[in-house]
Structure 1
Amino acid sequence: MKLNNLACAAAAMGMALGAQARAEEAEVLERVTVTGSNIKRIGKEKALAVEVIKKEDIDKTGASTVIQLLDRLPAVGSLLAGTNSGSFAAGAATAGLRGMSSKYVLVLLNGRRLPNYAMFISGSDAFVDLNTLPLSVIESVEILRDGASAIYGSDAVAGVINFKTKRNYRGASASTRLGQNLDGDGNEQSLNLSGGFGDLDQDGQNLLLSFDVYHREPVFSRNHATTRSNDYRFLGGLDVRSGAQWGYWNDRTPNPGKTNALAKPLPGCPPSRLTSRPSGSVLCVSDVDELGTQLAPRTSRYGLLANYIRRVDGDAEFFAELGVNRSETPLDGGYSFVQAIVTPSWAIYPRDGGLGAIYPDFKPTDNLQITRNLSENGRRLNEIRSDTYRAVLGGRVLRRGWDMEGSLNLGLNKVDARQSNVVLNDAFLAMLKNGANGQPLYDPFSQNNAAAALRPYLATIANTSSSRLSAFEFKASQDEWFKLPAGAVGVAAGLQWSHESVDARPDPLLQSGKIMNFAVQQSLRASRSVLSAFGEVNLPVLKNLELQLALRADRYNDFGDTFNPKLTFAFRPWEPAMLRGSATTGFKAPTLPQLYASRQAYASVYDYAQCADRGIPRERCGLGSNQLRSGGNAQLKPEDSRNYALGLVLQPSKALSATVDWYQIEVSNTVQSLDPQYVLDNPGRFPGFVVRKPSDMPGVRGDIEYISAPYMNIGKTRTRGVDIDVQYDWSLGVYGKLKFRNAQNRIFSYQESQTETDPLLEYADYGAQPRWKNVFEVTYSKAAYSLGLAARSYASYKNQYSQLYGHGGKLKQRVASYTALDLNFGLAPFKGFKVNGGIRNLGDRRPSYATGEGFGSGVAGYSGAATDLWGRMLYLSASYAF
């Protein structure tokens, strides 16, 4: 279950083809535990597809955070960058593998679990926040692109990402990094100080202390050509500039002949900003310069890591790890807004004739719907502070050939989310209806409100959440349990007990539903315990055929028992080639929020039924935000999965290596909330799930009150693809060396179902799942100098929006492929001193525009890495070891 982290270089050597040649030249090889197995061994390529990224490779990517590093890897997807203030897990970052959600990926630090983030993706999915892992202290990353539930537990359906830090470090080092995009924002700085005291081999003990700090200034949409405007017609898209900043009104008077009440801007709009929509509505639009939209928020992170090892005798040692991390992210929360139907009895009804003087069809007896931002006091600010604490205590001993280890792992993540400038719903609406009792009256039909008129109705809310992890593990392994004619049999076995809990406490104002634009949130206190037993055997059947058999039994206190086997083989018909494969089952228990939480949120949907009643064509039906209600379901069943993999490894020479790994993942009984658009489009299948307000027009359905979408075991997921990795080292003799590498993930199919009885729908070749992602790298090195160029490419894919809604053929049917270049250089002018720098997105390539709707929270609607929206980025790092 847990990695021993003895010699990162040797672990990488045992698992990566690129490291094989170096392993053959090493004089001493250690027995290590590698990702995907509990048996310590000396070896070269194994039956598992593990990608190893070392410190020197990390530096060459130009990444400043873990999520930026993972974003450039072909097999990694489903990223959450932590830049969306509207996310349930605001400020946190995570990533998935092979197109699947991050909830199917297990994240480890030095082979051990980390506490989950105290908030949840979409209010339901648990994950580890990658922002709690400072990139500067990571020595290597091992990515197991294979199901590993039989080895690690139910989180590892799609794979494992294991981050490793230094071990037995001696001396001291300091490193710093500066980054800046050429458009003038997003300046970032980082600093790491590390010191190692004592030598494990000579002194019998070693203490590593490391301190890390990272800071980045915000990145604004207005500063970058790609995101400078929400009018995407220059990219072949639509004009989606907002009319809510200035404000607009609709006539909502019940009238059988009035089927399409068009939006009209509030009086006083500058003529240059008046824009007609396809529906016939006219808006006074605002763009990102006025709205102040951010692509990335200001971020500050601090981390302290301590690692102590003491050797009791030659065959036993005690170890302890301590980690403390803080992340502070003030996220732009946008403006509060009001959307209400105002009748003539309201105090703020426009009786002065202002609307009538401009709009001849206005009648002072009409009911008016007003929509506008409440911007007089500025935007909401969502300040997220996340603190993560981790402690590991344990010991290991070697007795009679058995390598035994016991450890206690404790973790805590605590999140405080404070949001200011929110509006008290009941008090504000009461003022609009009844007046302000002698105080300044806020008039939503006027652009000249004083800030003091809104201030009495503003509030600050604070949410607190905590997530705890306690785990105890004992395991033993022996790589030569007994001998067979083909070689030694290795074995590992162990027991693990773990307990996780979550305690989420929303602000009382949120629990009572008193904040405008916020759904009701409820407290959640829940926990789970799991007792596990696992075993593993490496069996050399023939000299050139090895099998790995693994079995894990888990007993959940809330779900009973589950057994998950795994079979892996490695067959070498001749020395330069190896065939490898695996088959495994998986088990994914519902998360605690899916079982016990009560969730309300807002979802953007198209109410095509109401549009049809109003005579509005489908392609002109507007997107609306509606309340979504879903809740915990204690009757949920676990998800079941099956993983299959088959790969070919070729290494005809020390200079050339290649791997081709085919995979197929099948997940049944997936736990998910019903898609609100699907529920709305199929009301006959879900009676009572769409609740509407009373209709204000005969023959027209009422507005949506809320959509019910509970968690259910309703889905299926099937995905197939292949990972390809080719490397070639070309020696130029005294002139240095050229290294070529090409890595690609190609998706053959990615299918999901909306409900248990629905057919699977194909999602490959659409925006979220382009058919392939590719990274090609060439590096020249000579002595202490290197120069590298990397090309990151994404396939073209279908424009789903244009195919669904057409817009008269104005939108492109396919989105163009995309390639960005990164340049890197490195030098070591004297002993202990290293300099690394480069340019990300060297050609200042604009990511391909994907949809007709804009990019919403920051990057949806574009292919490529999120940071490519920032244009060219320069970075320079330096380190000195002494």
Structure 2
Amino acid sequence: MFTRINICSAALMAAGGVLASGPVFGQTQGQPQLERVEITGSAIKRANQEGVAPVDIVTRKDIARTGARTVNELIRSIASIDIYDQGELTGDAPAAAGAANFALRGLAVDNTLVLLNGRRVAINAFYDSSGAGAAFDINMVPLSMIERIEILKDGGSAIYGADAVAGVINIITRRDYKGINATATYGQSSRGDATEKAAGFSGGFGDLATDRFNVSFGLDIFKRDPIYRRDREMTSSADFRRYGGPDGRSSFAPTGNIVDPNDGSFVDQTYAPCPAGSFNVRCRYDFNQSVITAYNGADRVGGLATASVLFTPSLKGFVEVLASRNKDKFEGHPVPDFFNVPITDPSQTPYEDPTNPGTIYIAGRFMQGGPRTTHRVSDYLNTVAGVEGTTELLDWRVAAGQGVSKIKNSQFNYYDRTLWTAATTTGAINPTVTTNDPVFVESLKVTPVREGKAVTRFINADVSGDVTKMPAGMLRYAVGAAVYRERLVDRPDTLMQAGNVVGDIRQAGADASRTVKGVFGELSVPLLKNLESQVALRHDIYPSESKTSPKLGLAWQANPFVKVRSSYTESFKAPVLKQLYGGQEEGAITIDTDEQCAGLGLPPNCGANAFQVNGANPNLKSEKAKTYNLGLVLDPMPNVSASIDFWKIKKRDDISSPTVSEAIDRGLFEFRGGRYYIYTNLLNISQRVHKGVDFDGRVRFPGTSLGTVTFQNTTTYYISLKRQESDGEPLRETVNTYALPRWRNTFRASTASGPWTVSGALRSVAGFWDSADYLSEARNSRKVGAYDETDVQVDYAGIKGLTVTAGVKNVFDRMPPFSVQNASDGTYSQMGFAELYNARGRFMYLTLSYAFQ
């Protein structure tokens, strides 16, 4: 699937690179002109040769053969990119719902720098105060407008910025397009849901070579119906005892479960009669039924326009505008809460609330209020303008731009805490019935709105060229400078920030900005005829600190068939704005392990309800990292190529929150208002050492009876993902724990003959221990099995201008393997499987694409 930059193939490089407008130096007149290209990982343009860094290139043709209709679905076919798909699977995460991100090397999403056409983009306007989700939302880029994606996997801090710890992913959009093309897609699961409808239109006119200008544009529309949990057997009930798991149904039942007012624990006695089939220790409510989705719907529109003008043969100006809007609707069950209700039975008297005589405390759910609903509108606008030119001695370019991410969440069927408490405490509302005065119920409701805006403004410039001819070749250089200013404004409703919205969690606001400056220099030094080195240095200045990030790389062409490459990079990542200047956020959790219960002084299987509190820390330091790579590239014969790369990342001062268990062990909790509050505030307490291997192999058989047959296999294998919680503690292995599988693999096969192309893919993910607690040996008690999906696609282009594509994803209708950890822990989706997968099942699609002549 990936195009590996191959020294033997000019065609692959031409497909993968950006053609330079200047001449290639060192060629004599009459020789074939090999254009120099720029590949992510270096600012120096070069001819057809692979550099010191491993770079995967996913071309437009590769993308089409995956059958993906969104960037988030595409990454499931890219073995080197980590998957954790909570944003598409759930609607109850205020920051993550509806969003998706890139992640590499087992590190958090904010460790991967995402570029759009080589330039920075604004991150998602909503992210947690922990920093989780502080990255570009890849759902804002229409897939049909992408020309290719370049994945630099050895860290890019010395060239692109100090925060490119895990690597750089550069999304290159279409430009300089001529003609008109229209595309329509329809797809649906074999169960009749998850319907996808997509339409795209692109066009362009003008030729830079003859007309001295080009205007290109495109529009992409994508709509997807949701999958409801009730419509898949695995997710149809949160009672997972049928799989040997726990009963994960909520203890906040409509009929109410009595709570001890002294410590908030359940006394295993119901307030009103429990419906048949709903009682298990206490009355249960099955939240996986009815309105909650197993895969979110989507309503997306995106447009791209570019214009280029060739002022002179060596001077070009350009403008790029990318605009997109995503609309989502998330529904949740009616409000769960603690209520004071009148004592109706003598057996309830021992649990009388001393602060409200004549009442007891129950955990209930107010069904009369209706489902909680969130309408989310996400807008992204990215504008860039610049000029670039060439002379006999150098290439140069200057660009300025702005990226703006805006999100608005509007919520319905929530309640004002002050009015709500007064109504429920006095008995004006009976939360266990649906016959309360509807006018009075409506008078208690609020419609909180959360609005966020993230802005990145930048100006950058760089110059590259040749320095001098050395005995082994040409010494080349690049220098550049950049200034960017980022601002984050996150304004939850005033009631949200105070924690006074019943049915929602407390959400932290933020209003902060900073300016970052950076300069870099890079040299490509030919040490020998067959030994090239890359030396780069970047200095970044943040308001609170500055640091220099070096990079050193070597590439040795041992013979025409074997190349050895290696690199060393240092990086530092400053805390994101909300980690420094945000407030505190709360998330509802359940204390359900015996160890956690004991730490709170409660009996085993206590099921205590708690809030996990995360908060910013203005005294956080930057995270520091060192990255090592060693690789081997093989081209043993025509049409056969392979590469294997070993990598290691050592990261210290990692910003992290203690886990719930660790916070309890450290005494970071308190009990108030009928709940435990577990404090997991941010600290520079963690160290990480991640090691792994990437493999990419391809073999091509032209001229067979089946046409040109191609096989390719890509693998990312994690040797270890070790984590140290704090100074003095040992490094502990996290690989093979929950949602951290040891390997991902994609095997692809295709054959092309005449107008027909048939392709298939087998996408596999390793199993893992069914526990997120890597500190406990209990993680070895159960394992989630490996998982794979098979895709098939057929393309026919035998009619002039028309391409017909039909395909089936997940041909064998595989469902994800069951996970007790997911089913039992409210931190996760509680659908019974890790967020590495989805429960869509078999999916069939048809695409028609017509290029107007």
- TM-score normalised by length of structure 2: 0.91
- Of residues 444, 451, 456, the one that matches 2:431 is 444
Q: 5 Å matches for 1:58-97? A: 58-80=63-85, 82-83=87-88, 84-87=90-93, 88-97=95-104
The corresponding residue for 2:107 is 100
User: Post-superposition shift, 1:660?
Assistant: 0.5
Distance 1:646 1:805 in 2: 33
Distance 2:9 2:75 in 1: 20
SS across alignment from 1:651? strand
Alignment pair present for 1:816 and 2:785: yes
- Of residues 372, 384, 403, the one that matches 1:411 is 403
The corresponding residue for 1:700 is none
| Contact 1:802 1:813 (C-alpha < 8 Å) held by counterparts | no
The corresponding residue for 1:475 is 462
Q: Which amino acid aligns with 1:492?
A: A
* Cα gap change, 1:322 to 1:81, in 2 (>3 Å): farther
The Cα offsets for residues 33-78 of structure 1, whole Å up to 9 and x where unpaired, read as 1111101111232221111111121111121110111123221115
SS across alignment from 1:184? coil
* Cα gap change, 1:879 to 1:614, in 2 (>3 Å): closer
How big is the alpha-carbon RMSD for the aligned residues of Structure 1 and Structure 2?
Answer: 2.9
Alignment pair present for 1:552 and 2:538: yes
The corresponding residue for 2:301 is 302
Alignment pair present for 1:218 and 2:226: yes
| Contact 1:31 1:40 (C-alpha < 8 Å) held by counterparts | yes
Q: Which amino acid aligns with 2:322?
A: G
Distance 2:684 2:158 in 1: 23
The Cα offsets for residues 518-564 of structure 1, whole Å up to 9 and x where unpaired, read as 344443211111111101011111111100000001111x2232100
Q: Which moved more, 1:20-29 or 1:40-49?
A: 20-29
The corresponding residue for 2:24 is none
- Of residues 520, 523, 528, the one that matches 2:514 is 528
| Contact 2:822 2:834 (C-alpha < 8 Å) held by counterparts | no
Q: 5 Å matches for 1:481-492? A: 481-492=467-478
Q: Which moved more, 1:132-141 or 1:295-304?
A: 295-304
* Cα gap change, 1:19 to 1:716, in 2 (>3 Å): farther
The corresponding residue for 1:762 is 733
Distance 2:216 2:170 in 1: 20
Distance 1:159 1:424 in 2: 45
The corresponding residue for 1:698 is none
User: Post-superposition shift, 1:617?
Assistant: 5.3
* Cα gap change, 1:747 to 1:609, in 2 (>3 Å): closer
The corresponding residue for 1:660 is 644
The Cα offsets for residues 302-354 of structure 1, whole Å up to 9 and x where unpaired, read as 112110000011111111111111111112244321114x3xxxxx4033x4x
Distance 1:783 1:830 in 2: 12
| Contact 1:324 1:390 (C-alpha < 8 Å) held by counterparts | yes
Structure 2: runs of 5+ lacking an equivalent: 17-31
* Cα gap change, 1:540 to 1:464, in 2 (>3 Å): same
The Cα offsets for residues 610-652 of structure 1, whole Å up to 9 and x where unpaired, read as 844999654x232633241523x22221110000000111111
The corresponding residue for 1:374 is 366
SS across alignment from 2:820? coil
User: Post-superposition shift, 1:815?
Assistant: 1.7
The Cα offsets for residues 169-209 of structure 1, whole Å up to 9 and x where unpaired, read as 11111111111111121111111111101111110000001
The corresponding residue for 1:248 is 256
Distance 1:829 1:135 in 2: 25
Alignment pair present for 1:692 and 2:667: no
SS across alignment from 2:539? strand
* Cα gap change, 1:704 to 1:339, in 2 (>3 Å): closer
The corresponding residue for 2:682 is 711
SS across alignment from 2:234? helix
The Cα offsets for residues 2-39 of structure 1, whole Å up to 9 and x where unpaired, read as xxxxxxx9xx9783589666559997532221111101
Distance 2:842 2:85 in 1: 22
Distance 1:377 1:452 in 2: 11
Q: Which amino acid aligns with 1:112?
A: R
State the percentage of identical aligned residues: 30
| Contact 1:247 1:284 (C-alpha < 8 Å) held by counterparts | no
Distance 1:721 1:776 in 2: 19
Distance 1:59 1:212 in 2: 15
The corresponding residue for 1:589 is 574
SS across alignment from 2:139? helix
Q: 5 Å matches for 1:561-580? A: 561-580=546-565
Alignment pair present for 1:52 and 2:42: no
Q: 5 Å matches for 1:184-199? A: 184-199=192-207
The corresponding residue for 2:135 is 127
Alignment pair present for 1:164 and 2:143: no
User: Post-superposition shift, 1:252?
Assistant: 2.0
* Cα gap change, 1:725 to 1:496, in 2 (>3 Å): same
Distance 1:505 1:25 in 2: 44
Distance 2:61 2:362 in 1: 57
User: Post-superposition shift, 1:801?
Assistant: 6.6
User: Post-superposition shift, 1:286?
Assistant: 2.7
Distance 2:259 2:359 in 1: 6
SS across alignment from 1:309? strand
Distance 2:226 2:15 in 1: 47
Distance 1:177 1:124 in 2: 36
* Cα gap change, 1:132 to 1:852, in 2 (>3 Å): closer
Distance 1:244 1:23 in 2: 59
Distance 2:73 2:8 in 1: 23
- Of residues 794, 810, 813, the one that matches 1:844 is 813
- TM-score normalised by length of structure 1: 0.88
* Cα gap change, 1:122 to 1:28, in 2 (>3 Å): farther
Q: 5 Å matches for 1:600-615? A: 600-604=585-589, 606=591, 611-612=597-598
| Contact 1:242 1:286 (C-alpha < 8 Å) held by counterparts | yes
The corresponding residue for 2:318 is 319
Q: Which amino acid aligns with 2:459?
A: F
Distance 2:481 2:266 in 1: 66
SS across alignment from 1:70? helix
Distance 1:404 1:22 in 2: 25
- Of residues 822, 841, 850, the one that matches 1:880 is 850
Distance 1:750 1:610 in 2: 25
User: Post-superposition shift, 1:805?
Assistant: 9.1
| Contact 2:181 2:201 (C-alpha < 8 Å) held by counterparts | yes
* Cα gap change, 1:177 to 1:23, in 2 (>3 Å): same
The Cα offsets for residues 131-169 of structure 1, whole Å up to 9 and x where unpaired, read as 110001111111111111001002311011111122211
The corresponding residue for 1:721 is 692
Q: 5 Å matches for 1:221-370? A: 221-250=229-258, 252=260, 262-271=267-276, 273-276=277-280, 281-286=281-286, 288-290=288-290, 292-340=291-339, 342=340, 348-351=341-344, 353=345, 368-370=360-362
Distance 1:562 1:451 in 2: 61
* Cα gap change, 1:519 to 1:798, in 2 (>3 Å): closer
Distance 1:17 1:400 in 2: 26
Distance 1:385 1:827 in 2: 38
SS across alignment from 1:242? coil
Alignment pair present for 1:674 and 2:680: no
* Cα gap change, 1:611 to 1:195, in 2 (>3 Å): closer
Distance 2:242 2:7 in 1: 46
* Cα gap change, 1:159 to 1:784, in 2 (>3 Å): same
* Cα gap change, 1:571 to 1:116, in 2 (>3 Å): same
Distance 1:451 1:118 in 2: 36
Q: Which amino acid aligns with 2:80?
A: A
